[in-house]
Amino acid sequence: MPSIDADTPLPSSEGITETSSSPASPVNRQRTPSVSITPPSGRTRGESHGLTSAIGNIRLSDTNGRATLSPEPRRSRNGTPRRRRSSTGAVEQHDVADEELPDDAFHSPEFQGAFRDAKQLMSSIQSVLGSSNIHEAHESTMRKLHEDAGRLAAFEYPATRTVGFVGDSGVGKSSLLNSLLDTKGLARTSNNGEACTCVVTEYHYHNRDTLDIRVNLFSIEELQDQLGRLLQVYRTFELHRDEITDAAERQDMEANAKVAKDTFQAMFRGRLTDEACLIRESYGDVLDRLTRWASDARPSPLRTYHTGLSPQACSNTLMELSSEPASRDSPATWPYIRSIKVFLNAHILSRGLILVDLPGLRDLNSARRIITERYLLECNEIFAICNIGRAATDEGVHQVFDLADRARLSNVGIICTRSDDIDPEESIRDWPGRRARHIEQLLEYIETTNKEIEELKADIEDYEGADLSEHERRELAECREDLRQASIRKHNYDFELKEYLITTRNRIIIDSLTNTYAGRVTDARVFCVSNTIYWQNRNARKSEAERYLHLSGILQVRKHCISIVANSQRRIATQYMKDQIPALLADIELWVQSGARTASEERREALCQTLDSVERRLRKDFASRAFSRLARGYNEDFTEYVYNNRHVTSWSRSAKDASQDWAGWHHSSYSAFCRNFGDYCTPKIGSRNWNEEAMDEMVSDLGGPWEEMCGSLQERQSSMLENAGEFADMAIEKLEHDSVDSLTQALENRQSIFLAAIEKVNDDLENNLRILRIKSLSGLRSSIFGKAMEPFYNKCNAEFGRGSDARRKAIIRGALSDEDLFTKLMRSLKDSFRTNSEATQAKIQEATMEYLRVIEGRFDLVRSENVARESEQDPDFRLRVDQVTRAGRETMQRVHQVI
């Protein structure tokens, strides 16, 4: 694997063509013949003075000082963009809402136009329904219709997709998220260099100008568990440091002990004044004391919710929550925090995304690492973040792909930061051939233009301050215009050089990464970005900034993230336009017709009897076994296909055999694998994962049955969905000849909404079972097997001195020989499956009860005398409602033609 480092020459890649044509030679000025007007030809590499001068004027990677928070005005989806103004008047700046959208059906202008028309229609209908005081009556039907119209008018895309950004500290992850959110300085790094990005931070959308923060704390039980592990690591090193002879082992143990010590100091600052007490007293006594201290220092629930924050206040609060306090006598908050949620009005979030800032998988705090693993299993898309200079060899990226392989994930991409960190002179050396010649040519143009600018400035200085004739004034004006044109040329040459360097290196890096991770990532999921270029040009005049913003790569990442939600949001928006709005229109029509009393009393009485009969039949059908015993059927499938295929004795024997293979390794290698919880790589042994090898026979035995179970579950789901459709169809068929068209239309729309809700529940079950399979049949650290083995690895890591190697091997062999390990795993799997099946049945029953409640409400629009009297109160109002509803039907017909 080739090493790509910021300070290491990049390999030649002659196959890459120049992305931009060579500029024309600088234009000659007649008044300054002393300036070279043609780039020197045949220059040699030794002629470096001009190049050095030109390079000195180019700074591709300016480093800024402390970032100040500068939230960018943005346009809400229903509002008008807010433009910034300078002291000299309006200045049009880049607006993220105007960025190019993904090329898909959902983001097409036609679909988005239809969606806007539909929302505008709901706003109009809400206004008409509120034009009479009828809707003010608490129990009135019009009140409910008015509220429904308002809810549909305020429709917002729900958060349907989660994108996780995982990377080690210092790779620019927080800066990347700030750029994607278009809010500078929101997520910041520690002001004292200490680790502060270990807290998972989620970014959610809300349509308000202020920001909110919600903090999710660890429970006392979770804190006690973490303290116990940290204390054991610390005591083991401090009590046995003289017995550790292996250098690598000592380095690992010392690093882990330092993490434990730093965490204790952060949690108990002001109370832990004597660290010797951590090893002087018994383990149990020390753990009890630390747990009491943690209970006292754990933040109050009142500090877990912060609302109405300005961007600067939000940034400051996040800093306080995630880093060390200014006072060295106050405990830190971050060790008590599981995760943080930030709610803000960011364009990228408004599309239905949740962005998650995740610590790297190399975090030495095992609790934090496990949290990251669990998040990654549930993310719809994962980006491994790394510095572009070390992209191909970045260990953090490798670990993300390793986890993805073991969890059978195929949704991983890579974002390389600091794409602007590239030097022209080094690039000339590293890219021989035409690329080097092209860079030299651009540098020559820049040098020539610089000389021209200096000459012009000198000429202008000669003219200024003196009494000038008319001819001289014209010459001065010409000089100033020439200077302006030369400056523009210089700026363009600077950009072309910067663009060429960045895009060329980006292509090299992307090709290298797609080769390194061949079959696991495509170039469509690899991005190179510069947060520096983005923020240096974010507030500039739009006409000047656009090319730099595109060069930054941030716009492309934002576009890709938005494309992730396209399919799910299109389904939601289509249901909104095809079912939810027509259903409301049908309800309003029933209200209008109820007051018009167009049917005879006898016909109305017969219709009410039919409605009563249909409602009783629906309640009976949906109380049948097909709906009331779903969980039982699911659990029976699990038992038949998976649980009854357990072969605990054979699995345990296979795991023991695997441990015998490892027992032949050198003691230092065996110890290293124990310290890394069975997942490690050495030059001699290679990459191995003990958990996976111990589970190999179990996974092989259950893989096929699991797929068969999922197939049977899908058949049950399809049958249940078909039954639900038939029950609803029956109701519509019984009413087709006896009721008005509006009622039939209302029932059809409500049926579609109901069936979509059931499909959503089925999809959730499928996703939950996917995650359950990973947790049960993989060797991940956070899996059931991984957590079951962790105490044994910890026990091995506490062994030192004479005979420790044999004791470690006996511990692992004993753990894997015990059939109870696999017995408990299967019981845990069974319990988790039952929890999922019962939750699914509860959701189906909830959706069914909601459907029956809605059907009852629709029927009441026809059979209730109160509704009829309400509709008769204000004939003029009823006429207005009728007119806007008819117009609404026409609008929705046009909308349906588009979608």
Query: Is the model's pLDDT at 320 over the cut of 90?
Result: no
Lowest mean pLDDT among 7-16, 245-254, 265-274: 7-16
Q: Which helix (H) or strand (E) holds 403?
A: helix 395-407
pLDDT at 618 over 50: yes
Q: State the average pLDDT over residues 644-657.
A: 97
Per-residue confidence (pLDDT) for residue 301, from 0 to 100: 82
Residue 86 has pLDDT above 50, yes or no: no
Report how far apart, in Å, the C-alpha atoms of 893 and of each of 118, 119, 282, 898 are: 11, 14, 77, 9
pLDDT at 15: 36
Do residues 858 and 749 make contact, with C-beta atoms less than 8 angstroms apart?
Answer: no
What is the radius of gyration, based on Cα positions, of the chain?
34
Residue 817's pLDDT band, with cuts at 50, 70 and 90, is very high
Would you say residue 868 has pLDDT above 50? yes
Render pLDDT for 20-36 as a digit per residue (tens, 0 to 9): 434 443 333 333 333 33
**Residue 455 has what pLDDT?**
93
Tokens, residue 304:
């877990």
In the block, tokens 């958060």 appear at: 159
Q: Whole-angstrom Cα distance, residue 12 to residue 9?
A: 9
Across the chain, what does the average pLDDT equal?
Answer: 86
Compute φ and ψ for 314, nearest 5 degrees. -65, -45
pLDDT at 866 over 90: no
What are the φ and ψ backbone dihedral angles of 129, each rounded to 5 degrees?
A: -65, -25
Read out DSSP for 108-143? Answer: SHHHHHHHHHHHHHHHHHHHHHTSSGGGGSTT-HHH
Model pLDDT for residues 222-257, shown as the tens digit of each residue: 999 999 999 999 999 998 888 888 888 889 889 999
- Give the pLDDT confidence score for residue 873 in this predicted structure: 86
Q: Quick one: average pLDDT of 97-118?
A: 93
Task: Give the rounded percent of residues in the chain with a pLDDT score beyond 90.
Answer: 68
Q: Using CA atoms of 223, 226, 227, 230 in order, give the dihedral in degrees to the nearest 10.
A: -160
Helix (H) or strand (E) holding 872: helix 865-872
Q: How many CA atoms lie within 13 A of 33 on its CB side?
A: 0
| Higher pLDDT pick, 139 / 29 | 139
pLDDT computed for residue 246 by the predictor: 82
Q: How high is the pLDDT of residue 83?
A: 39
Spell out the long-range contacts of 48-55 with Cβ–Cβ below 8 A and sequence spacing 24 or more.
Answer: 50/443, 50/444, 50/447, 51/425, 51/428, 51/440, 51/443, 51/447, 52/425, 53/447, 53/450, 54/443, 54/444, 54/446, 54/447, 54/450, 55/423, 55/424, 55/425, 55/443
What band does 366 get if pLDDT is binned at 50, 70 and 90? Answer: confident
Least confident segment among 457-466, 564-573, 733-742, 881-890? 733-742
Average of per-residue pLDDT across 439-466: 91
d(CA 21, CA 829): 62
Whether the Cβ atoms of residue 388 and residue 3 lie closer than 8 Å to each other: no
Residue 90 — pLDDT band, cuts 50, 70, 90?
low
Q: What mean pLDDT comes out for the span 559-580?
A: 94
Q: Kindly tell me if the per-residue pLDDT of 56 is higher than 50.
A: no
Q: Where are the alpha helices (DSSP H) in 212-353?
A: 220-240, 247-267, 277-280, 283-297, 311-322, 347-350
Residue 600 in this model has a pLDDT that exceeds 70: no
pLDDT digits (tens, 9 = 90+) for 165-187: 999 888 999 999 999 999 999 98
pLDDT at 463: 84
> Residue 16's pLDDT band (boundaries 50, 70, 90)?
very low
Q: What is the pLDDT of residue 605?
A: 81
User: Dihedrals φ, ψ of 637, to 5°?
Assistant: -65, -40
410 pLDDT exceeds 80?
A: yes
Question: Is it the case that residue 378 has pLDDT exceeding 50?
Answer: yes
Query: Does the pLDDT value for residue 599 go beyond 70?
Result: no
CB of 688 closer than 8 Å to CB of 672: no
pLDDT range class, residue 42, cuts 50, 70, 90: very low
Strands 337-344 and 353-359: unpaired
Count of H-run helices and E-run strands, the chain: 32, 15
Segment 619-647, tens digit of pLDDT? 999 988 778 889 999 999 999 999 999 99
Percent of the chain with pLDDT over 70: 88
Average pLDDT over residues 356-382: 89
Tell whether the model's pLDDT for residue 38 goes beyond 70. Answer: no
Which residue has better confidence, 295 or 41? 295
pLDDT at 49 over 70: no
Residue 8, pLDDT above cutoff 70: no
54 has pLDDT over 90:
no
CA–CA dist 496, 446 (Å, integer)? 10
Better-scored residue on pLDDT, 136 or 816: 816
Q: What is the C-alpha end-to-end distance of the chain, expressed in Å?
A: 49
Question: What residues does 164 pair with on adjacent strands?
Answer: 356, 382
Cβ–Cβ < 8 Å for 372, 363: yes
Query: Quick check: 345 pLDDT over 60?
Result: yes
- Residue 567, class by beta-carbon neighbours within 10 Å (0-12 exposed, 13-18 middle, 19+ buried)? middle
Name the pLDDT band for 598 (thresholds 50, 70, 90). Answer: low
Mean pLDDT on 695-713: 97
